Protein backbone atom coordinates (compact mmCIF):
# COMPACT_ATOMS: atom_id res chain seq x y z
CA UNK A 1 0.00 0.00 0.00
CA UNK A 2 1.27 3.49 -0.81
CA UNK A 3 0.07 7.03 -0.39
CA UNK A 4 -0.33 9.12 -3.56
CA UNK A 5 -1.12 12.82 -3.15
CA UNK A 6 -3.25 12.20 -0.06
CA UNK A 7 -4.93 9.00 -1.35
CA UNK A 8 -4.11 5.55 -0.10
CA UNK A 9 -3.58 3.22 -3.05
CA UNK A 10 -3.27 -0.52 -3.43
CA UNK A 11 -2.70 -2.72 -6.46
CA UNK A 12 -6.02 -3.62 -8.01
CA UNK A 13 -5.20 -5.45 -11.24
CA UNK A 14 -2.24 -7.11 -12.91
CA UNK A 15 -2.17 -7.04 -16.71
CA UNK A 16 -1.86 -10.60 -17.99
CA UNK A 17 -2.53 -9.77 -21.65
CA UNK A 18 -2.34 -6.19 -22.85
CA UNK A 19 -4.41 -6.24 -26.04
CA UNK A 20 -4.11 -3.68 -28.86
CA UNK A 21 -5.01 -0.50 -26.98
CA UNK A 22 -5.92 -0.03 -23.32
CA UNK A 23 -5.35 3.45 -21.89
CA UNK A 24 -5.92 5.21 -18.58
CA UNK A 25 -8.19 8.23 -19.09
CA UNK A 26 -9.47 10.81 -16.64
CA UNK A 27 -11.58 13.77 -17.82
CA UNK A 28 -8.71 15.14 -19.91
CA UNK A 29 -5.89 17.68 -19.90
CA UNK A 30 -7.07 21.29 -20.09
CA UNK A 31 -5.39 24.70 -20.17
CA UNK A 32 -2.31 23.42 -22.01
CA UNK A 33 -3.16 23.74 -25.72
CA UNK A 34 -1.18 26.99 -25.80
CA UNK A 35 1.82 24.69 -25.24
CA UNK A 36 0.83 22.53 -28.22
CA UNK A 37 -0.47 19.79 -25.91
CA UNK A 38 -3.80 18.24 -26.75
CA UNK A 39 -6.75 17.29 -24.55
CA UNK A 40 -6.79 13.51 -24.28
CA UNK A 41 -9.48 12.04 -22.05
CA UNK A 42 -12.20 9.52 -22.89
CA UNK A 43 -13.14 9.26 -26.54
CA UNK A 44 -16.66 8.32 -25.39
CA UNK A 45 -17.50 10.71 -22.57
CA UNK A 46 -20.91 9.10 -22.08
CA UNK A 47 -19.60 5.57 -21.51
CA UNK A 48 -16.72 6.77 -19.33
CA UNK A 49 -19.00 8.89 -17.13
CA UNK A 50 -21.49 6.07 -16.58
CA UNK A 51 -18.77 3.56 -15.71
CA UNK A 52 -17.42 5.92 -13.05
CA UNK A 53 -20.88 6.73 -11.70
CA UNK A 54 -21.79 3.06 -11.34
CA UNK A 55 -18.49 2.41 -9.55
CA UNK A 56 -19.25 5.27 -7.14
CA UNK A 57 -16.49 7.58 -8.37
CA UNK A 58 -16.68 11.37 -8.75
CA UNK A 59 -16.39 13.14 -12.09
CA UNK A 60 -12.79 13.09 -13.27
CA UNK A 61 -11.77 9.73 -11.80
CA UNK A 62 -9.44 7.74 -14.02
CA UNK A 63 -10.94 4.72 -15.77
CA UNK A 64 -9.53 2.30 -18.32
CA UNK A 65 -10.50 2.80 -21.97
CA UNK A 66 -10.35 -0.57 -23.73
CA UNK A 67 -10.42 -0.44 -27.55
CA UNK A 68 -11.22 -3.59 -29.59
CA UNK A 69 -10.71 -5.92 -26.59
CA UNK A 70 -7.90 -8.46 -26.27
CA UNK A 71 -7.22 -7.40 -22.66
CA UNK A 72 -6.90 -9.79 -19.70
CA UNK A 73 -6.65 -8.50 -16.13
CA UNK A 74 -6.18 -10.49 -12.92
CA UNK A 75 -7.61 -9.00 -9.71
CA UNK A 76 -5.04 -8.72 -6.93
CA UNK A 77 -7.68 -7.79 -4.32
CA UNK A 78 -11.45 -7.68 -3.94
CA UNK A 79 -12.84 -4.86 -6.06
CA UNK A 80 -16.08 -3.19 -7.01
CA UNK A 81 -16.14 -2.40 -10.72
CA UNK A 82 -18.38 -1.36 -13.59
CA UNK A 83 -18.05 -1.60 -17.36
CA UNK A 84 -19.99 0.77 -19.62
CA UNK A 85 -19.79 1.79 -23.24
CA UNK A 86 -19.12 -0.92 -25.81
CA UNK A 87 -19.85 -4.58 -25.32
CA UNK A 88 -16.48 -6.21 -25.96
CA UNK A 89 -17.60 -9.67 -24.89
CA UNK A 90 -16.20 -9.25 -21.36
CA UNK A 91 -16.10 -12.28 -19.06
CA UNK A 92 -15.24 -12.76 -15.40
CA UNK A 93 -13.73 -16.20 -14.78
CA UNK A 94 -15.28 -17.33 -18.03
CA UNK A 95 -18.80 -16.11 -17.27
CA UNK A 96 -20.35 -13.19 -19.19
CA UNK A 97 -19.78 -9.92 -17.31
CA UNK A 98 -22.86 -7.70 -17.01
CA UNK A 99 -22.22 -4.25 -18.45
CA UNK A 100 -23.85 -0.95 -17.49
CA UNK A 101 -24.04 -2.19 -13.89
CA UNK A 102 -21.93 -2.54 -10.76
CA UNK A 103 -20.19 -5.89 -10.23
CA UNK A 104 -18.20 -7.44 -7.37
CA UNK A 105 -14.85 -8.89 -8.41
CA UNK A 106 -12.91 -11.16 -6.05
CA UNK A 107 -9.16 -11.48 -5.62
CA UNK A 108 -7.71 -13.87 -8.19
CA UNK A 109 -10.57 -13.56 -10.67
CA UNK A 110 -9.68 -13.05 -14.31
CA UNK A 111 -11.41 -10.27 -16.28
CA UNK A 112 -11.19 -10.74 -20.06
CA UNK A 113 -12.27 -8.39 -22.85
CA UNK A 114 -12.52 -10.44 -26.05
CA UNK A 115 -13.73 -8.61 -29.19
CA UNK A 116 -16.34 -6.03 -30.27
CA UNK A 117 -19.96 -7.18 -30.08
CA UNK A 118 -21.62 -3.77 -29.92
CA UNK A 119 -19.40 -0.71 -30.16
CA UNK A 120 -15.67 -0.18 -30.13
CA UNK A 121 -14.56 1.22 -26.76
CA UNK A 122 -15.44 -0.12 -23.31
CA UNK A 123 -14.75 1.73 -20.06
CA UNK A 124 -13.69 -0.12 -16.93
CA UNK A 125 -14.02 1.82 -13.68
CA UNK A 126 -13.19 0.55 -10.19
CA UNK A 127 -14.43 1.98 -6.92
CA UNK A 128 -11.79 4.51 -5.84
CA UNK A 129 -10.58 5.05 -9.40
CA UNK A 130 -7.30 4.00 -10.97
CA UNK A 131 -4.36 5.98 -9.62
CA UNK A 132 -1.36 7.23 -11.58
CA UNK A 133 1.00 10.19 -11.39
CA UNK A 134 -0.52 13.24 -13.15
CA UNK A 135 1.38 14.86 -16.02
CA UNK A 136 0.43 18.51 -16.63
CA UNK A 137 -2.50 18.08 -14.27
CA UNK A 138 -3.96 14.89 -15.73
CA UNK A 139 -3.32 11.16 -16.01
CA UNK A 140 -5.02 11.06 -19.44
CA UNK A 141 -2.86 9.00 -21.79
CA UNK A 142 -2.03 10.52 -25.18
CA UNK A 143 0.27 8.05 -26.92
CA UNK A 144 1.09 10.43 -29.79
CA UNK A 145 2.53 12.93 -27.29
CA UNK A 146 3.95 10.39 -24.85
CA UNK A 147 2.04 11.87 -21.91
CA UNK A 148 0.14 10.43 -18.97
CA UNK A 149 -1.17 6.93 -18.51
CA UNK A 150 0.25 4.14 -16.41
CA UNK A 151 3.43 5.21 -14.62
CA UNK A 152 3.34 8.48 -16.61
CA UNK A 153 5.09 6.82 -19.54
CA UNK A 154 2.54 7.91 -22.17
CA UNK A 155 1.87 4.48 -23.65
CA UNK A 156 -0.78 1.78 -23.68
CA UNK A 157 -0.84 -0.89 -20.99
CA UNK A 158 1.75 -3.65 -21.23
CA UNK A 159 1.89 -7.18 -19.87
CA UNK A 160 2.97 -7.20 -16.25
CA UNK A 161 1.71 -3.69 -15.41
CA UNK A 162 0.11 -3.53 -11.97
CA UNK A 163 -2.64 -0.95 -11.70
CA UNK A 164 -3.12 0.97 -8.49
CA UNK A 165 -6.58 1.90 -7.23
CA UNK A 166 -7.63 4.55 -4.76
CA UNK A 167 -9.71 4.42 -1.62
CA UNK A 168 -13.37 3.80 -2.45
CA UNK A 169 -16.12 6.15 -1.32
CA UNK A 170 -18.40 5.00 1.49
CA UNK A 171 -21.48 5.13 -0.76
CA UNK A 172 -21.56 3.95 -4.37
CA UNK A 173 -25.05 5.01 -5.52
CA UNK A 174 -27.03 3.27 -8.27
CA UNK A 175 -26.17 -0.30 -9.19
CA UNK A 176 -27.52 -0.26 -12.75
CA UNK A 177 -27.77 2.32 -15.50
CA UNK A 178 -31.32 2.95 -16.78
CA UNK A 179 -32.24 1.38 -20.11
CA UNK A 180 -32.56 4.75 -21.85
CA UNK A 181 -28.84 5.55 -21.50
CA UNK A 182 -27.66 2.20 -22.88
CA UNK A 183 -26.84 2.92 -26.50
CA UNK A 184 -27.11 0.41 -29.33
CA UNK A 185 -23.91 1.34 -31.13
CA UNK A 186 -24.80 -0.89 -34.10
CA UNK A 187 -27.63 1.43 -35.13
CA UNK A 188 -26.95 4.23 -37.66
CA UNK A 189 -25.70 7.24 -35.73
CA UNK A 190 -27.20 10.72 -36.03
CA UNK A 191 -24.46 13.19 -35.15
CA UNK A 192 -25.40 16.72 -34.07
CA UNK A 193 -23.16 19.27 -35.78
CA UNK A 194 -22.90 22.97 -35.00
CA UNK A 195 -22.22 24.79 -38.32
CA UNK A 196 -18.95 26.73 -38.26
CA UNK A 197 -17.52 29.99 -39.54
CA UNK A 198 -16.64 28.60 -42.98
CA UNK A 199 -19.94 26.80 -43.64
CA UNK A 200 -21.02 29.54 -46.06
CA UNK A 201 -17.96 28.90 -48.22
CA UNK A 202 -19.17 25.41 -49.21
CA UNK A 203 -21.29 25.09 -52.33
CA UNK A 204 -25.05 24.79 -51.93
CA UNK A 205 -24.98 21.27 -53.33
CA UNK A 206 -22.25 20.29 -50.86
CA UNK A 207 -24.24 21.61 -47.93
CA UNK A 208 -27.30 19.69 -49.07
CA UNK A 209 -25.23 16.52 -49.40
CA UNK A 210 -23.47 17.04 -46.08
CA UNK A 211 -26.74 16.96 -44.15
CA UNK A 212 -28.80 14.62 -46.34
CA UNK A 213 -26.40 11.93 -47.54
CA UNK A 214 -25.31 8.89 -45.56
CA UNK A 215 -21.64 8.85 -44.57
CA UNK A 216 -19.52 5.82 -43.83
CA UNK A 217 -16.82 5.56 -41.17
CA UNK A 218 -13.52 4.96 -42.92
CA UNK A 219 -10.93 2.51 -41.61
CA UNK A 220 -8.64 5.51 -41.15
CA UNK A 221 -9.93 6.26 -37.67
CA UNK A 222 -8.28 6.57 -34.28
CA UNK A 223 -8.36 8.74 -31.17
CA UNK A 224 -7.05 11.68 -33.19
CA UNK A 225 -9.89 11.70 -35.71
CA UNK A 226 -12.35 9.80 -37.88
CA UNK A 227 -12.49 10.17 -41.67
CA UNK A 228 -15.95 9.95 -43.22
CA UNK A 229 -16.47 8.77 -46.80
CA UNK A 230 -19.33 9.85 -49.03
CA UNK A 231 -20.05 12.64 -51.53
CA UNK A 232 -17.17 14.98 -52.27
CA UNK A 233 -17.72 18.32 -50.55
CA UNK A 234 -16.54 21.43 -52.41
CA UNK A 235 -15.36 24.59 -50.67
CA UNK A 236 -14.10 27.77 -52.33
CA UNK A 237 -11.44 28.04 -49.63
CA UNK A 238 -8.58 25.64 -50.16
CA UNK A 239 -6.72 26.36 -46.94
CA UNK A 240 -6.62 28.90 -44.12
CA UNK A 241 -4.11 30.38 -41.75
CA UNK A 242 -3.90 27.71 -39.08
CA UNK A 243 -6.22 28.28 -36.13
CA UNK A 244 -7.14 26.49 -32.93
CA UNK A 245 -9.17 23.30 -33.19
CA UNK A 246 -11.77 22.21 -30.66
CA UNK A 247 -13.19 18.78 -29.94
CA UNK A 248 -15.42 17.53 -32.75
CA UNK A 249 -14.19 19.99 -35.41
CA UNK A 250 -15.09 18.67 -38.87
CA UNK A 251 -12.34 19.63 -41.29
CA UNK A 252 -12.69 19.16 -45.05
CA UNK A 253 -9.33 18.65 -46.83
CA UNK A 254 -8.93 19.03 -50.62
CA UNK A 255 -10.26 15.51 -51.33
CA UNK A 256 -13.66 16.66 -50.00
CA UNK A 257 -13.99 13.87 -47.43
CA UNK A 258 -14.66 15.22 -43.91
CA UNK A 259 -12.48 14.39 -40.93
CA UNK A 260 -14.06 14.68 -37.47
CA UNK A 261 -11.36 15.43 -34.92
CA UNK A 262 -11.48 13.75 -31.51
CA UNK A 263 -9.62 13.89 -28.21
CA UNK A 264 -6.07 13.38 -29.42
CA UNK A 265 -6.37 15.90 -32.29
CA UNK A 266 -3.67 18.37 -33.21
CA UNK A 267 -4.07 21.77 -31.56
CA UNK A 268 -4.19 23.87 -34.76
CA UNK A 269 -5.17 23.28 -38.38
CA UNK A 270 -5.73 25.10 -41.66
CA UNK A 271 -8.42 23.20 -43.54
CA UNK A 272 -11.89 24.78 -43.83
CA UNK A 273 -14.40 23.44 -41.35
CA UNK A 274 -17.98 22.45 -41.90
CA UNK A 275 -18.53 22.98 -38.18
CA UNK A 276 -18.08 20.94 -35.02
CA UNK A 277 -19.77 17.89 -33.59
CA UNK A 278 -21.20 18.38 -30.13
CA UNK A 279 -19.29 16.57 -27.34
CA UNK A 280 -21.95 13.86 -27.14
CA UNK A 281 -21.96 13.45 -30.94
CA UNK A 282 -18.17 13.07 -30.89
CA UNK A 283 -18.61 10.42 -28.19
CA UNK A 284 -21.14 8.56 -30.32
CA UNK A 285 -18.83 8.65 -33.34
CA UNK A 286 -15.99 7.23 -31.25
CA UNK A 287 -18.03 4.02 -30.83
CA UNK A 288 -18.55 3.47 -34.58
CA UNK A 289 -16.73 0.67 -36.33
CA UNK A 290 -15.34 1.11 -39.86
CA UNK A 291 -18.11 0.81 -42.43
CA UNK A 292 -20.87 1.99 -40.12
CA UNK A 293 -23.34 4.55 -41.42
CA UNK A 294 -23.62 7.98 -39.81
CA UNK A 295 -25.61 11.09 -40.67
CA UNK A 296 -24.85 14.71 -39.83
CA UNK A 297 -27.68 16.73 -38.31
CA UNK A 298 -27.38 20.51 -38.01
CA UNK A 299 -28.09 21.92 -34.56
CA UNK A 300 -27.94 25.30 -32.84
CA UNK A 301 -25.65 26.50 -30.10
CA UNK A 302 -28.59 26.77 -27.72
CA UNK A 303 -29.70 23.19 -28.31
CA UNK A 304 -26.17 21.84 -28.09
CA UNK A 305 -25.48 23.65 -24.82
CA UNK A 306 -28.80 22.58 -23.29
CA UNK A 307 -28.16 18.93 -24.16
CA UNK A 308 -24.65 19.04 -22.73
CA UNK A 309 -25.85 20.70 -19.52
CA UNK A 310 -28.53 18.03 -19.07
CA UNK A 311 -25.90 15.36 -19.48
CA UNK A 312 -23.43 16.96 -17.06
CA UNK A 313 -26.12 17.58 -14.45
CA UNK A 314 -26.35 13.84 -13.89
CA UNK A 315 -22.67 13.51 -12.99
CA UNK A 316 -21.34 16.80 -11.60
CA UNK A 317 -22.66 18.20 -8.31
Closest residue by Cα to residue 194 from 75, 257, 136, 278:
278
Q: Are 79 and 127 in contact (CB under 8 A)?
A: yes
Q: Provide the pLDDT for residue 8.
A: 52
CA distances from 274 to 111, 191, 278, 305, 315 (A): 42, 13, 13, 19, 31
Name the percent of the chain in helix, strand, coil, to the closest 5. 15, 35, 45
How many residues comprise the chain? 317
Q: Provide the pLDDT for residue 238.
A: 84
- The residues of the chain scoring below 70 in pLDDT are 1-8, 170-174, 317
Dihedral sign computed on CA atoms, order 245, 221, 149, 155: negative
Domains and CATH numbers, the chain: 2-181 (no CATH), 189-313 (2.40.100.10)
Q: For the chain, what is the total number of helices (H) and then of strands (E)?
A: 4, 22
Per-residue exposure over 185-223, b if at least 16 CB sit within 10 Å of its own CB, e if not: beeebebbbbbbebbebbeeebbebbeeeebebeeebeb
Give CA–CA dist 316/310, Å, rounded: 10
Q: Are 111 and 12 in contact (CB under 8 A)?
A: no
- The pairing of strands 293-298 and 215-221 is antiparallel
pTM of the complete model beyond 0.85:
yes
Amino acid sequence: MSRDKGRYTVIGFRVERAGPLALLQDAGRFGVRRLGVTQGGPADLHGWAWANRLAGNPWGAAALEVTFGGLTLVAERDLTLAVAGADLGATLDGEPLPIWERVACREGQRLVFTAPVNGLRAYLAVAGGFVAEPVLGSVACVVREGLGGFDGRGSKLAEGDRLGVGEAAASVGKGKAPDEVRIDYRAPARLALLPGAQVGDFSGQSLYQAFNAAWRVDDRADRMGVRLTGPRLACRIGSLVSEGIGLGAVQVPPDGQPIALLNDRQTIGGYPRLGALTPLAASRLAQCLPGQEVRLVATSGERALAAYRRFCAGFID
